[in-house]
Amino acid sequence: MLAPPIRRGMKSRAAARTVLTVIVFCFQTNLGSTCAIGQANPWADVVLDASSVFDRSSDYNDPDSLLSMPSTDFFDPLFRETHYASLVTGAFNRSPTGQKLLVTIGRIGREDFVKVRFSEPVEDHPRNPFGIDLIVHGNSFFSGSDFVSPDTNMEEYYLTGGVFSEPVTVAVSDTGIGNPRSHPQHWYEFVHGPFADSLFPTNPYRWQRDEDAWDVIENESYYQSTFTTPVDPRWTAEDFAGMSAADAMDLYLCSGGGTGFDLAYSGFSCIQFVYLTSTGGEVDALVDVFPSLGDFGNRDGVVDLIDFQSFQNCYGDDFLPRPGCMCRSADFDGDGNIREFDLLEFVRFLDGPLGIEFSCEKE
């Protein structure tokens, strides 16, 4: 979904104060009913089946590794260093605390598979950004000008063009019966792409230019990139060539990256099953995209007073660069300011769910 056009009207501060009063009234009279919008854990939940080669005995050999959020950091055993995952540094090995991060699906000359299920349906929701409904993360990365270390300045590291990728084919289903080869009528396979473990590399954190450092603050997740929001799929690898890594992150617009899939092509209104095949690609995580419905304070699936307080903190001119990702989600017209138009859009979302029924049936 692209940013809506800027509308006229409601330009006085008095009018804005009136709308703020309406917001408070809505919370006081309808909290938990018309003001509530829900979403469960956005990660895949269960591995239903996998090739027999996966015995879970070693790194990259455990399909359960993809049943969590995308990797944010990892330990490099060669240099004994901890790195933040980024669009120029794909995660590998294990997390700093020893957790497995990735599963490698297949090898050259041998195709393997992993079949997973989401507990809650992944919806072809009209409010999902850019029409993207599902995101699959691997450990791809943009090629760059030099070796990347934990101290690399992302403003001085330049992308040379291209992405190191090992494509993973994705198929989706509402019933999960069989697989795309045995029961093709129950599956839609993205045989012509997009392919996971390619565009767009995972990027959990933003680069803070005034500090020449990663913007990592414990317990303040709105300073991080957002895994439940996709990158604009109109960008190509060529669009990033010649940019600094910091500039490339700006094109992500606070998204945490990953390859996006639009369920509209499948004919399913929603799905719960995903089938992954490859001859050597890695998968890190699968993510249900979060609709743009005003829940930008703590992204807990409910539009409530926390989100209202966050909106108030953002209200005004020139909110960038901080708090950045949180406020950018409230900038509905994309003009870099949180003003009266954005307030009107926020109020619209307080009407509750969109009233669209999702039956998970194929059209």
pLDDT digits (tens, 9 = 90+) for 137-188: 999 999 998 899 999 999 999 999 899 999 999 999 999 999 999 999 999 9
Q: Output the pLDDT for position 2.
A: 32
Give the DSSP per-residue string, 93-138. Answer: SB-TTS-B--EEE-BTTB-EEEEEEEEEEEE--TTSGGG--EEEE-
d(CA 135, CA 142): 18
Q: What is the mean pLDDT of the chain?
A: 81
Q: What is the mean pLDDT of residues 78-101?
A: 95
Strand partners, 220: none
From CA 201, how far away is CA 258, in angstroms rounded?
Answer: 6
**Range ranked top by mean pLDDT from 38-42, 171-175, 324-328, 357-361:** 171-175
pLDDT value of residue 8: 30
Amino acid at site 352: G
Q: Which one, of 140, 160, 138, lies nearest residue 286 by Cα?
A: 138
Residues 253-301: pLDDT tens digits? Answer: 888 999 999 999 999 999 999 999 999 999 999 999 987 666 665 655 5
- Confidence at residue 337, expressed as pLDDT on a 0 to 100 scale: 77
Q: What is the CA radius of gyration of the chain?
A: 21
Helix (H), strand (E) at residue 238: helix 237-240
Which of 265, 288, 357 lies closest to 45, judged by CA?
A: 288
**189 class by beta-carbon count within 10 Å (0-12 exposed, 13-18 middle, 19+ buried):** middle
pLDDT at 356: 41
**pLDDT top residue among 308 and 121:** 121
222, exposed or middle or buried, with CB in 10 Å at 0-12, 13-18, 19+? Answer: buried
C-alpha to C-alpha distance for 111 and 281, rounded to whole angstroms: 10
By the 8 A CB rule, do 279 and 312 touch? Answer: no
Q: How many Cβ atoms sit within 10 Å of the Cβ of residue 29?
A: 10
- Give the integer Cα–Cα distance in Å for 323 and 312: 12
